[in-house]
Amino acid sequence: MKKIIYLDNAATTRTAPEVVDAMLPYFTENYGNPSSIYGFASANKEVIARQRETIADVLGAKANEIYFTAGGTESDNWALTATAEAYGAKGKHIITSRIEHHAVLHTCAYLEKRGYEVTYLDVDENGLVDPRKVEEAIRPDTILISIMAANNEIGTIQPIREIGEIAHTHGVLFHTDAVQAFAQIPINVDECHIDMLSASGHKLNGPKGIGFLYIRKGVKIRSFIHGGAQERKRRAGTENVPGIAGLGKAVELAAATMEERAAKETELRDYAISRIEKEIPYCRLNGDRVKRLPNNINFSFRFIEGESMLIKLDFKGICASSGSACTSGSLDPSHVLLAIGLPHEIAHGSLRMTLGADTTKEDIDYTVDCLKEIVEEIRSMSPLYEDFIKKQ
Amino acid sequence: MYTEKVMDHFQHPRNVGEIENPSGVGTVGNAKCGDIMRIYLDIDENQIIRDVKFKTFGCGAAIATSSMATELVKGKNIQEAMQVTNKAVMEALDGLPPVKVHCSLLAEEAIHAALWDYAEKNGIKIEGLEKPKSDIHEGEEEEEEDY
């Protein structure tokens, strides 16, 4: 098999071998149901409690504030719908941003059809939410502010501490989708006044199908999945024990290596950005240059379309993603790229590369070398480029 | 997701380029939806398509359908070229994923637009040829929302 250069770590990551090792016993030996009485199941209860603690520690939270879910999407759905229900008597207004993940945006649309009102805040050209605009949007009937910690496409890190403070001052709940940010950048739920936080295992070298929702003690929240008494009666269903064991291990590893990883990735990221900007004309870096996830690179290349770029990169063994319509299954390009003000045709030509712990400088050099050729090749076929050159 | 033929035409597109002083040129699609196709035709006095070139801004399927469409009309007379429908292009490529069918429509439309330009320049009428729409997505139904 030819070498794969995997630059799509914001989509998902390789499950770390240590994580797999941590999970295996809970498939093979300790398969008991944690709700059972006999001693055989106790190892399962024990690992759940321990990993709840591990995760809580990283966030500066208490263990009983961590609720395991099937992943980031469920956590977002739960946080929004259950809060809307539980606080519906106080008001029916929610504030969010235009660049949230669809797990949040589509849940908001669902709530709008059920009588809730949602304010979608604009972002600036770098994808930043202005905390002053958050404050201005607050009304007496506002019950929830949901702003992501960092954007999945363009990597922009939001001022969640300022937003949390504003929410706290006005007595409004604050939820943050931290699927991309958790264990990549430091987040403390108390310092940022976060009431709810969503995260997922598979974005940090953990397994797929597991995540959690942090819910601050005292927040009224209804259960979303009904059934048994698991997760303090708030999230029914037999616990995904191997998943929890793996998630806990992944969080432990990610937290321990966060600083070192961020330094290494930031250096590689900025190296890639500077090479691309120097060597490929008519490109634009999407997202904030500084307030940016260490592993995120997102460029738009004018006159070309993203899918063709991805296929050609794939021929070279490089895995990346694009915000073009063709990759989204609809005719519209990424809502995030449109929200930062890119015209459609430029949004179609976007490329996201997200680094991982294993990415090397050689990988970046090879990728940029290939990218240069590919962009030139596709441009030579583009009627938009032809028109542009003729006008010059 | 693509057939071998689509990948072949995407990787090795036939007839990419421009024709100087073309007999007809047509550009269709829109950048908003992510596809623009331009086709250049060189048509001789016997109304035979001597040469054809294309330039396309779009996905893999858009490039492959442009390439295949140019192959199918090359050497044909203009009446035969009118028979190169989106279905013919799709069949020649061994099919397209459902979300990419519009790319083959665009290819048909681009050929028609270039033929229309040729007909107008020469003051002739080509049977069955209608003035091309500039935007193939016009009138397309909005996706249904379901929550």
**Least trusted range by pLDDT, from A114-118, A192-196, A376-380, B136-140:** B136-140
What pLDDT is stored for residue A295 in this prediction?
97
Give me the residues paired with residue A6 across strands: A319
Do A304 and B31 count as a contact with CB atoms less than 8 A apart?
Answer: no
Instruction: Tell me the nearest-neighbour CA distance from B44 into chain A, angstroms.
Output: 25
Do A329 and B99 count as a contact with CB atoms less than 8 A apart?
Answer: yes
CB neighbour class for B93 (10 Å; exposed up to 12, middle 13-18, buried from 19): buried
A330 touches chain B (CB under 8 A): yes
Best mutation target, B1, B4, B11, B33, to test chain A (most A CBs within 10 A)? B33
Do A304 and B57 count as a contact with CB atoms less than 8 A apart?
Answer: yes
| C-alpha separations of A376 from A280, A298, A373 in Å | 9, 18, 5
Percent of chain A with pLDDT over 90: 93
A149 confidence band (pLDDT: 50, 70, 90):
very high
Do A324 and B63 count as a contact with CB atoms less than 8 A apart?
Answer: no
Percent of chain A with pLDDT over 70: 98
CA distance B63 to B9: 7
- Which helix (H) or strand (E) covers residue A356, if one does? none
Per-residue pLDDT in tens (0 to 9) along chain B, 147 residues: 899 999 999 999 999 999 999 999 999 998 777 889 999 999 999 999 999 999 999 999 999 999 999 999 999 999 999 999 999 999 999 999 988 888 899 999 999 999 999 999 999 999 889 887 765 444 444 444 444
Tokens, residue A233: 């009666």
A110 touches chain B (CB under 8 A): yes
Our answer to whether residue B59 is catalytic in this structure is: no
Tokens, residue B141: 């139904």
Do B32 and A345 count as a contact with CB atoms less than 8 A apart?
Answer: yes
CA distance A111 to A280: 44
Give the pLDDT mean for A354-379.
97
A275 confidence band (pLDDT: 50, 70, 90):
very high
B101 close to B66: Cβ distance less than 8 angstroms:
no
A325 confidence band (pLDDT: 50, 70, 90):
low
CB neighbour burial string for B16-35, b if at least 16 within 10 angstroms, e if fewer: beebeebbbbbbbbbbbbbb
B141 touches chain A (CB under 8 A): no
| Bridging pattern class, strands A318-319 and A5-6 | parallel
Do B38 and A348 count as a contact with CB atoms less than 8 A apart?
Answer: no
Q: Which of B32, B34, B36 lies at the smallest CB-CB distance from A383?
A: B36
Enzyme catalytic residues of A: 326
| C-alpha separations of A263 from A64, A258, A267, A268 in Å | 32, 9, 6, 9
Q: What is the DSSP string of A48-74?
A: HHHHHHHHHHHHT--GGGEEEES-HHH
CA distance A81 to B73: 56
Tell me the pTM. 0.93
Q: For the segment A78-91, what is each residue's pLDDT rounded down to a tens digit?
A: 999 999 999 999 99
Q: For the segment A150-184, what is each residue's pLDDT rounded down to a tens digit?
A: 999 999 999 999 999 999 999 999 999 999 999 99
Model ipTM value: 0.87
Our answer to whether residue B33 is catalytic in this structure is: yes
Q: For A231-319, where are the alpha helices, taking DSSP H only?
A: 241-279, 306-315
What pLDDT is stored for residue B145 in this prediction?
45
Instruction: Tell me the nearest-neighbour CA distance from B30 into chain A, angstroms.
Output: 9
Give the pLDDT mean for A235-247.
97
A310 phi/psi in degrees, rounded to 5? -65, -40
Q: Which residues of A touch B96 (CB under 8 A)?
A: none
Q: For the segment A278-303, what is each residue's pLDDT rounded down to a tens digit?
A: 999 999 999 999 999 999 999 999 99
DSSP tag of B56? E
A77 touches chain B (CB under 8 A): no
Asked whether residue A328 carries a pLDDT value surpassing 80, the answer given is no
Asked whether residue A70 carries a pLDDT value surpassing 90, the answer given is yes
CA distance A320 to A309: 9
